[in-house]
Chains A and B, each alone.
Chain A
Amino acid sequence: NAGVMQNPRHLVRRRGQEARLRCSPMKGHSHVYWYRQLPEEGLKFMVYLQKENIIDESGMPKERFSAEFPKEGPSILRIQQVVRGDSAAYFCASSPSGLPAYGYTFGSGTRLTVV
């Protein structure tokens, strides 16, 4: 059981480029959550997805950010036209269910640096 896999682990982008972050949930998990963590800060919820559906994107910035979780393949968090303020660690978590008794399993994160 490989756990939640995120890649790349580190990503450097110049301002204005696009960043694509990938997350493969644990086997059997169909619920994916994306979080952002700024240095020395806690986790900020971004988006919650199930296969082919966005359930809650209330934490996503209105522009430049999008997420998907297709029927086949990993979940993708896309940031277009990156700016320096997008530099952060982005964590993906998965769970087998959206029910509250389950906690999440986290990936190791993607550290995005915008130069």
Chain B
Amino acid sequence: AQSVAQPEDQVNVAEGNPLTVKCTYSVSGNPYLFWYVQYPNRGLQFLLKYITGDNLVKGSYGFEAEFNKSQTSFHLKKPSALVSDSALYFCAVREGMDSNYQLIWGAGTKLIIKP
């Protein structure tokens, strides 16, 4: 069965430090991977996605994520955190098959950036 795990409920980082939000997945075929961010009382905003090609994907707001097939991971990273990055981050996966439309979502990781 397809699944996504975000092992940390919350990540605390000091402003200016690098941040990592972890995501691992399980699918039977090729994964299509996504990161979304949710600010308080708002909908989800697309950050980046991996479909194929370069394992390092760059997205919005200076975020990037690295696809690691052997570790089945797609961790979200940023070299230098900003207080405004504080939000809820969701990882999602769908199998790379034409007939499979559903995104499977992780439970979310709350990122807190302290000044």
Q: Does B115 contact A (CB under 8 A)?
A: no
Shortest beta-carbon distance, A84 to chain B, in Å? 20
Q: Which residues of A contact B49 (CB under 8 A)?
A: 103
The number of chain B residues with a CB under 8 A from chain A is 26
Shortest beta-carbon distance, B44 to chain A, in Å? 4
- Beyond A42-B105, A42-B106, A104-B44, 12 additional contacts (C-beta under 8 Å) are A42-B108, A43-B44, A43-B90, A45-B102, A99-B98, A100-B32, A100-B97, A103-B46, A105-B46, A106-B36, A109-B42, A111-B41
Indicate with 1 or 0, residue by residue over B88-105, a CB within 8 angstroms of chain A CB atoms.
001010111110111101
Q: Which residues of A contact B43 (CB under 8 A)?
A: 4, 6, 91, 106-109
- Quick check: A100 and B44 within 8 Å, CB to CB? no
- Pick 8 A–B contacts, CB within 8 A, sort by A: A31-B101, A41-B108, A43-B90, A45-B103, A91-B44, A103-B34, A103-B103, A107-B43
CA distance A100 to B106 in the complex (A): 17
**Which residues of A in the span 63-115 have a Cβ within 8 Å of any Cβ on B?**
91, 93, 98-101, 103-109, 111
Task: List the 5 closest pairs (A to B, CB-CB), nearest first.
Answer: A98-B101, A106-B43, A42-B107, A108-B43, A106-B44
Binding site for A on B (CB under 8 A): 32, 34, 36, 41-46, 49, 51, 90, 92, 94-98, 100-103, 105-108
Binding site for B on A (CB under 8 A): 4, 6, 31, 41-43, 45, 48, 55-56, 91, 93, 98-101, 103-109, 111
Shortest beta-carbon distance, B57 to chain A, in Å? 12
